[in-house]
Homo-oligomer: A and B are copies of this chain.
Amino acid sequence: MSQPRILITGGTGFAGSHLVEYLLEQGFSDTHVTSLPPQNPDEAQPAWLIPANQIHFVNLTESQAVAELIKNLQPTQIYHLAALSEVGSSFKIADKIIINNTLIQLHLLEAVRQFTPQARLLIVGSAQEYDIHKPIPEDGISENHPLGPANPYAVSKVTQDLLALSYHYSYKLDIVVARPFNHIGERQAPVFAIPSFAQQIVAVERGTQSEIKIGNLDAVRDFTDVKDVASAYALLMTKGISGETYNIGSGHGVSMKEILDRLLDLSTMAIKITTDPEKIRPHDAPVIVANSQKIQALGWKPQLPLETTLQRVIEYWRHS
């Protein structure tokens, strides 16, 4: 049986690079990625696990470039992870985030419709699409929960997600939508809280920073190891039902305070903490925990305990 030809947009990014690693481990060697030409060569390293001719430097906001890529490559499976994702600043660059994320979604859908209409697409949305101001059931946020994003980044994920659904409905494209909750691991950018904590702890250990600055610690989130998220994406690619949406999350909530405490325990230093008003978002949801029964029914569950993930994250920053 011939291997699928796999394309991962944003394949040199955080989740994308872990997905590449996972697929290579599974023996899928015909795995291609798109990437913007790297501004910082270090950032793109994990993707260089694949041959250079499987890395396609494409600006996905350019429709002609996307069309040519899909036409020439003829992928049979597309994982669409590329997106601007700086949530914290998304009100400041709302137009850029929404337009960028909408255009790359639209160009990909149009190219697939024209050149590879049989390809299967996995579209990556976000838990932040859900309206956390509506009553949340005891067993967490399911896929049926009302949409009501609280920031422009999350609005852009709704737009991506529903635009894909409109192509499924109107042109029968074979599309599955994933809505991952928080995920963490090596190579996540320190605009996010946990890598920021880890990076700062290491800076204090090195004596280049005297204290660590934090935002709101009350928020409770559902954290999954990025490696478990990668395996969920691969499972949805083969077993997800076309036109359906699947949450990816552990179903367990942990406060940011607990995460910070665990990271601090991984250091031998006594570290001073101060609150930085810049890190407090205009709206921060108190509790966001997944109901992930739908994907669990397909056979997925997270394998990696939080403890080992946090250990890996801090080791990553110690070696960066």
Contacts and interface: CB of A to CB of B under 8 A. Distances in A.
Number of identical protomers:
2
Contact of A162 (B91, B110, B148, B166): B148
- Classify chain A: how many residues form its interface, as a range: 20 to 34
B169 A162 contact: no
Contacts of A282: 170-171
Interface in A192-213: none
B133 A151 contact: no
A169 B283 contact: yes
Interface in A253-296: 282-283
Contacts of A150: 166, 169-170
A103 interface: yes
11 contacts: A95-B103, A95-B106, A98-B102, A102-B102, A133-B243, A147-B158, A148-B165, A149-B162, A149-B166, A152-B166, A158-B159
A170 B98 contact: no
A154 B103 CA distance: 16
Nearest to A98: B102
